[in-house]
Amino acid sequence: MPHFLMAQAVEKNTLVLGVKYYNDNNAAQHLVISAKSKIDGKFQKIGNISVKVFITNDSNKNNFIGAGITSERGEFILFIPPSAKTEWVKSATQNFIAISATSKLYEEARAETTITKAKIKIDTADGKIVHAKLFIKVDTSWQPMAGVEMVLAVKRLDGNLNISETATYTSDSAGAISGEFKRDSLPGDQKGNLILVANIIDNDVYGNIEAETIVPWGKPLVYTTNYNHRSLFARRGHSPIWLELLAYGIILLVWAVIIYLGFQIRNIIKLGLD
């Protein structure tokens, strides 16, 4: 009796896409597209997911602004291209849509985010006071916005460091915040310059916005080298004196023991011949 193999449908996991908007110093904008899925009861980042991104809507092929494939971290960065300018300038708000391709493991997924255009201006005053103002686009003009949480920080290699113990500041009716810089003696570049930043993080309306300025409030970085000085990590011939004496002392001691044993063996041989 013949046997028939029945093809069984493979149950696919649900893919969750995310779209985050970033405004970098009021000069460039980019999106971070992420992908994750719930596996064994826990959300995990999913790599190798092909995603297309559109501006305003996905019904018009001219609104396509780029595509990418998620990395092992489950995300990729897409800079908004100049070709999106026509749609970008149409409104004070903007919509971005991400659509993933169907694969063997996942069905097509979709994510959208809508942002209101905003920008931050940052400045300083005497007494190491940092000022920042938030403006949002209303029709065709920029208006100050109150009641928005903002952060004042100084940029470091491993992340931003708040300028004081205050974690966040709330903008007033003029869209302004102010804070005192209290990170004295913080290392800067060779001229003592630091990069101050004012930003909004993961806001549901404005996304992520950051503005920065350079101030000479840091401690100048003085580069020193031990290349021509004696140290443990110096080049050959410049190791510490005590280390060289120790090494040579051990070598002399080993050779002294070898020579002593040689004489003893010689004496033993002479005694055997007598």
25: Cβ contacts below 8 Å, ≥ 6 apart:
210, 211, 212
Number of domains within the chain: 2
pLDDT digit string (tens) for 83-127? 999 999 999 999 999 999 998 899 999 999 999 999 999 999 999
Residue type, 229: H
In a domain, 169, yes or no: yes
Strands 207-215 and 15-24, sheet pairing: parallel
In a domain, 260, yes or no: no
Average pLDDT, the chain: 90
pLDDT digit string (tens) for 129-165? 999 999 999 998 999 999 999 999 999 988 899 999 9
In a domain, 30, yes or no: yes
If asked whether residues 107 and 130 sit together in one domain, one would say no
Q: What is the mean pLDDT of residues 216-233?
A: 77
Identify the CATH number of the domain in which residue 198 sits. 2.60.40
How far is C-alpha 261 from the chain's CA centre? 64
Query: Domain ends where: 115, 130, 153?
Result: 115
In a domain, 192, yes or no: yes
In a domain, 77, yes or no: yes
Residue of 119, 28, 27 whose CA lies nearest to 80: 28
If asked whether residues 163 and 103 sit together in one domain, one would say no
Give residue 197's domain range. Answer: 118-215
Residue of 153, 129, 157 whose CA lies nearest to 221: 157
If asked whether residues 85 and 104 sit together in one domain, one would say yes
In a domain, 262, yes or no: no
Per-residue confidence band for 211, with pLDDT thresholds at 50, 70 and 90: very high
Query: Domain ends where: 85, 115, 145?
Result: 115
If asked whether residues 92 and 124 sit together in one domain, one would say no
Q: Of all helices (H) and strands (E), which one includes residue 173?
A: none
If asked whether residues 111 and 124 sit together in one domain, one would say no
If asked whether residues 131 and 180 sit together in one domain, one would say yes
If asked whether residues 123 and 206 sit together in one domain, one would say yes
In a domain, 242, yes or no: no
Contact 22, 207 (CB under 8 A): yes
If asked whether residues 109 and 122 sit together in one domain, one would say no
If asked whether residues 32 and 72 sit together in one domain, one would say yes
Can you tell me the distance from the alpha carbon of 96 to that of 237, in angstroms, rounded to the nearest whole number? 63
Per-residue pLDDT at 8 exceeds 80: no
Identify the CATH number of the domain in which residue 110 sits. 2.60.40.10
In a domain, 181, yes or no: yes
> How many residues comprise the chain?
274
Q: Output the DSSP codes for 115-168.
A: EE-EEEEEEEETTTEEEEEEEEEETTEEEE--S-EEEEEE--TTS-EESSS---
